[in-house]
Amino acid sequence: MTVTTGLTVAQGSAIEKLAINTIRTLCMDAVQAANSGHPGSPMGMAPTAYVLWQRFLRFDPDDPIWGNRDRFVLSAGHASTLLYSLLHLTGVKAVNSKYERLGQPTVPLDDLKRFRQLDSKCPGHPEYRWTSGIETTTGPLGQGLATSVGMALASRWAAARFNRPGFEMFDFDVYALCGDGCIMEGISSEAASLAGHWKLSNLCWIYDSNQITIEGHTALTFSEDVATRFIGYGWNVTRVGDANDLEMLDRAFQVFKNTSDRPTLIIVDSHIAWGSPHKQDTSAAHGEPLGDNEVRLTKRNYGWKEDAKFFIPDGVYEHFRDGIGKRSKELHQAWLAKRDEYKSKYPELADYLDRMQRRLLPEGWDKDLPSFPPDPKGKATRETSAVVLNAIAKNVPWLIGGSADLAPSCKTRLTFDGTGDGKGVGTLLPERPGGRFAQKGPDPFSVAGDFSASDYGGRNLHFGVREHAMGAILNGLSLSKVRPFGSGFLIFSDYGRNPLRLAALMEIPVIYIFTHDSIAVGEDGPTHQPIEHLASLRAIPGLITLRPADAGEVVEAWKFIMQRRHEPVALILTRQAVPTLDRTKYATAEGLQRGAYVLVDAPNGKPDVLLLGTGSEVALCLDAFERLKAENIAARVVSMPSWEMFEYHCSKHPGYREQVLPSAVRARVSVELASMFGWERYVGDGGRMLGMNTFGASAPLKELQKRFGFTADAVVAAAKETLARRPK
């Protein structure tokens, strides 16, 4: 193995060696100042990162969000000082949430000195939004790898949909740097399998094979042949046997650039070692500072000033400015000039691109929304959602998505067939690659199609049985400004929880469509019947859960979802039919926009008991309302499709909570086919919660409803019980 603490004399020019060792010493000093962090990988991968950024990466430090930049993802997020050092040395400028360039560095040296400290732009792991130039939040290992697949997919999809001869508006490459832990995580296998299947040749993973994890040498747990594994996935694999050999690294990246039929894995063999020959506990050093003495000895090995901290030699800033800075600025300026020509020749497409990049909707995106007449039998909300989704997708060209092998059950397939009026952008483009639109014809944006290695323009994505990778790929798509949706059964949301949580943390508008939302799944039994899942999703800060009661609420839910720019949403839908409510008899479904609303009230507006429900259980509440009314008991039914939306609306309109849930009415019953956890905040100590406190069972739905007490009789009985407990 090669020691990564210095470059051999024959390799690299003096300024290159100086720049690389500057990266290394900044990483050491930042970790040492914080007395926390991981110095090994940043130091070992400094030459690799240097060659990539200085010679290959298309990334303009003055505008780190331009649409056709290459993406660099640090999947080994514990090596964050490597990325922060690069952002500082290359002079990357900050951009605010309004896409305005601020002209100030995104990582000032003072922030690097405050690595892992409160309010520093250099947190322990890379955080999207906090620091410009960070393409994605990478916390759990492997997430960055799978997210990078979504970014590469987005590049290929956008190129197929928007590029025209002479106008390559999208052709960016995606690089992800990972370590042994990322390769071990199961999500990397899911994502690599898909990337190989899709032949994403614009994707390059760089594997820092240093054979160290927190517990020690990887031989403890890891003996597979990674190269053979990736060849089996359909990847091109190349190896750099010496992490310090700049020309071997350069050649490996050239191999990637010259590979056009598959993604590339570059295995870089490195070894964590330090300036002192007696420091043997490299596993500990991987996850902790070196210590002042080791820092000095390592700097001595570099020929560095031993006691200088955060020292940047003369010429290093200029070297990066004249390298990645100059090269990328020229590429960016050429792209901007081409974009101006594109606007003139293809104005509709240019407008789409601008809106997509700013997360704005096209004009008329909601013009074809359906309406559903009252129907006592009704349809499953997954069925009505499918109709609404397709109506919206026709008018939002960058709304794409799919399922983890469950589209026929989740009803998420986009089905429009190209029978547009021909007045749209289709009249402009006979040239789209991929075969289906090789000649003039219907507007191609009115055709859904399937995304595949032979047609990157398809809008239906097939993820296979890979919920975890699907979630991260959706994040990568959203970070690339495509609007993605992904679907599966609610029970399987557990498999994709990490990327779902990261979407909320990053504030990106990913759409999750979860169906089969309760024990109403029936005969499949408790393994497929979600119980605690609604509560667990509601516990994620920033994630909006929406469980509509009928077709009218489904339409309103999609209206709300599509206008989100910074919030992910989990749309929770039924498998079984629910009545479509008569909105001349009940309140308008627009009340969903407030999260909760009075659906039907006591005749005098002064209820004795409140019946609170979500989703399919709202129909039970309405049935109970009528029975109570027949017994001269004044009830109010409140539909509560989204706790998060309700709480937000109440924060903006303080009187609204009292309007819907009057504090004087202590007799309350909540009804939800799920865990009761959390409902106490709404029913209080005088109410009753009808829900699940066990797992379900395998049986037809009606039998399950009787067994677990989800009948109108049970709701009426609970209402009477709460009324009986009222203080006299």
pLDDT tens digits, 447-500: 889 999 999 999 999 999 999 999 999 999 999 999 999 999 999 999 999 999
CA distance 475 to 101: 24
Residue 388 lies in a domain: yes
Q: Is residue 409 located within the same domain as residue 321?
A: no
Of 535, 553, 578, the residue at which a domain comes to its end is 578
pLDDT tens column, 54-95: 999 999 999 999 999 999 999 999 999 999 999 999 999 999
pLDDT band at 139 (very low <50, low <70, confident <90, very high): confident
Mean pLDDT (whole number) for 551-570: 98
Q: Give me the number of domains the chain comprises.
A: 3
Q: Is residue 261 located within the same domain as residue 177?
A: yes
Give the model's pLDDT for residue 625: 98
- The one-letter code for the residue type at 541 is P
List residues bridging with 669 in a β-sheet: 611, 688
Residue 427 has pLDDT above 70, yes or no: no
Which of 727, 723, 620 shows the shortest CA–CA distance to 671?
620
CATH number assigned to the domain comprising residue 487: 3.40.50.970
pLDDT band at 347 (very low <50, low <70, confident <90, very high): very high
Q: Is residue 416 located within the same domain as residue 291?
A: no
Residue 338 has pLDDT above 90, yes or no: yes
pLDDT tens column, 582-627: 999 999 999 999 999 999 999 899 999 999 999 999 999 999 999 9
Q: Is residue 618 located within the same domain as residue 663?
A: yes
Residue 454 lies in a domain: yes
Q: How many CA atoms lie within 13 A of 425 on its CB side?
A: 24
Residue 273 has pLDDT above 70, yes or no: no
Residue 5 has pLDDT above 50, yes or no: no
Give the model's pLDDT for residue 547: 98
φ/ψ (deg, to 5) at 726:
-65, 145
Mean pLDDT (whole number) for 326-333: 97
The strand ranges marked E within 595-681 are 597-600, 609-613, 635-639, 668-675
Residue 240 has pLDDT above 50, yes or no: yes
Mean pLDDT (whole number) for 192-219: 90
Residue 70: strand, helix, or coil = coil
Instruction: Choose between 148 and 287: higher pLDDT.
Output: 148
- The one-letter code for the residue type at 519 is I
Residue 545 has pLDDT above 60, yes or no: yes
Give the model's pLDDT for residue 437: 38
Q: Is residue 614 located within the same domain as residue 644?
A: yes
Give the model's pLDDT for residue 725: 86
Give the model's pLDDT for residue 443: 56
- The one-letter code for the residue type at 444 is P
User: What is the SS3 string spanning 507-572?
Assistant: CCCCEEEEECCCHHHHHHCHHHCCCCHHHHHHCCCCCEEECCCCHHHHHHHHHHHHCCCCCCEEEE
Q: Are 115 and 88 in contact (CB under 8 A)?
A: no
Q: How many CA atoms lie within 13 A of 363 on its CB side?
A: 3
Q: Are 234 and 199 in contact (CB under 8 A)?
A: yes
Residue 8 lies in a domain: no
Residue 112 has pLDDT above 70, yes or no: yes
Q: Is residue 382 located within the same domain as residue 324?
A: no
pLDDT band at 97 (very low <50, low <70, confident <90, very high): confident
Mean pLDDT (whole number) for 690-706: 94
Sign of the dihedral defined by the CA atoms of residues 533, 538, 543, 549, in that order: positive
Q: Are 153 and 477 in contact (CB under 8 A)?
A: yes
φ/ψ (deg, to 5) at 669:
-130, 125
Which of 174, 700, 191 shows the shortest CA–CA distance to 466?
191
Give the model's pLDDT for residue 438: 35
Q: Is residue 138 located within the same domain as residue 189?
A: yes
Q: Which residues are catalytic?
A: 467
Q: Is residue 271 located within the same domain as residue 401?
A: no
Ordered DSSP codes for 323-391: IIIHHHHHHHHHHHHHHHHHHHH-HHHHHHHHHHHTT-PPTTTTTT------EEEEEEHHHHHHHHHHH
Of 578, 602, 620, the residue at which a domain comes to its end is 578
Q: Is residue 216 located within the same domain as residue 164?
A: yes
Lowest-confidence segment of 64-73, 392-401, 410-419 by average pLDDT? 410-419
Give the model's pLDDT for residue 83: 98
Mean pLDDT (whole number) for 563-567: 97
Residue 341 lies in a domain: no
Residue 680 lies in a domain: yes
Q: Which domain holds residue 702?
A: 594-724
pLDDT tens column, 368-387: 999 999 999 999 999 999 99
Residue 352 lies in a domain: no
Q: Exposed, middle or buried: residue 667 (CB in 10 Å: 0-12, 13-18, 19+)? A: buried
Cβ contacts of 606-609, under 8 Å, gap ≥ 24: 606/634, 607/634, 607/635, 607/636, 607/662, 607/665, 608/633, 608/634, 608/635, 608/665, 608/667, 608/723, 609/633, 609/634, 609/635, 609/636, 609/665, 609/667, 609/668, 609/669, 609/719, 609/722, 609/723
Mean pLDDT (whole number) for 559-578: 97
Instruction: Choose between 418 and 710: higher pLDDT.
Output: 710
User: What pTM does this model have?
Assistant: 0.94
Q: Are 678 and 535 in contact (CB under 8 A)?
A: yes
Q: Is residue 129 located within the same domain as residue 99?
A: yes
Give the model's pLDDT for residue 11: 59
Q: Is residue 602 located within the same domain as residue 702?
A: yes
Q: Is residue 208 located within the same domain as residue 299?
A: yes
Lowest-confidence segment of 15-24, 75-84, 297-306, 413-422 by average pLDDT? 413-422
Torsion region of 507: left, alpha or beta (phi above 0 gives left; psi -120 to 50 gives alpha): left
